[in-house]
Amino acid sequence: MEKDLPDIQAILPKVNFKLTRVGVTNVTKQIVVKRPDRNVILQPTINLYVDLPSTKKGADMSRNVEIIEEIVENSIKTPCSSIEDLGENIVKMMSKRHPYATRMEVEIFSDYFLDRKNPSGKVTQERYRIFSKVVMENKKIRKMIGVTSTGISVCPCAMETVRAHLKERYPEYSDFLDRIPVPSHNQRNNLTILIEIPEGNSVEINDLIEIAEKSYSNSTYEILKRKDEMELVLKAHENPKFVEDVVREALKLIYDRYRDFPDDTIITVKSESEESIHKHNAFAERICTLKEIKEEENNSGEHDKKNKYNRECCT
């Protein structure tokens, strides 16, 4: 019966332009993913696109959702090992079902939960946002993997102006005030790290989360008793950071971890700080190749790093 029905997608369009991306967006499913230590359930939202030649009125949209449904079903028996592998499976299936297309793309976004230890060693389940983009073009597959994670940033500028003020007001305690953390404004900082996975290499999402959590003034936790909270606040104030510093720290840690990746590996790091003293946000971003940060890293020895306000470890 299906094949007796008019196939409007297949006819010539009235207006003959190619389209770059045609597909379905906001498909949300529950999928099993096999992590190194355990199976995890993800609820990803998935967007799928193919390009469309100028001679075809419509893409065959339902095939995209069928692919996802098949993957959902199979994921219980034979789970993917990661969302980027899920993405790779999807574009490979798309290339078979859309023979007219030359470019297949999938975007996957998902919450991701990980057990972390808070300052006193208690386990708390923390929430992250992970995503992947996989593109297949001319048989070649390119994969990106990323995470957005939330920590705390303490402003180094307000800390030093407050310190200067207190020292002026209490000159007799000037030396002591140089040794202790003083008040500053602090807030949620959302850090996003996105990295290309070169062919033959792999990037473990938990490693990206670890890099993110070392880049803030401190990571945050769902459970903090009074002593934990005190320790977190002190550590964060001993490590004040602008959004700019958060991005640079993450770039440094990415460089340390992935320096052997090819020079043309694309890296994106961005940080958005929900300023507690403003209604707007502060933002910093770097988009670059591994080669660029490699060169900058090699030149950084020229900088004089001894600076009277570099109090990142001031107590």
Which residue lies nearer to a second copy by CB, 69 or 199? 69
Burial of 118 (0-12, 13-18, 19+ CB in 10 A): buried
Which residue lies nearer to a second copy by CB, 223 or 264? 223
Which residue lies nearer to a second copy by CB, 204 or 222? 222
Give least dist CB 200 to a second copy, A.
27
Of the candidates 156, 146, 174, 144, the residue with the CA atom closest to the CA atom of residue 245: 156
CA separation for the pair 104, 82 (Å, rounded)? 19
Give least dist CB 218 to a second copy, A.
8
Give least dist CB 192 to a second copy, A.
13
Give least dist CB 199 to a second copy, A.
26
Bridge partners, 186 (sequence order): 154
Residues 290 and 263 sit within 8 Å (Cβ to Cβ) = yes
Which residue lies nearer to a second copy by CB, 34 or 252? 252
DSSP 13: P
Give least dist CB 36 to a second copy, A.
18
Residue type, 168: E
Give least dist CB 137 to a second copy, A.
15
Which residue lies nearer to a second copy by CB, 73 or 199? 73
Which residue lies nearer to a second copy by CB, 199 or 263? 263
CA angle 315, 151, 145 (to 5 degrees): 130
Cα distance between the two ends of the chain: 77
40: enclosing H helix or E strand: strand 39-42
Interhelix angle 61-77/83-97, rounded to 10 degrees, is: 140
Q: Are strands 140-154 and 218-219 parallel, antiparallel or unpaired?
A: antiparallel
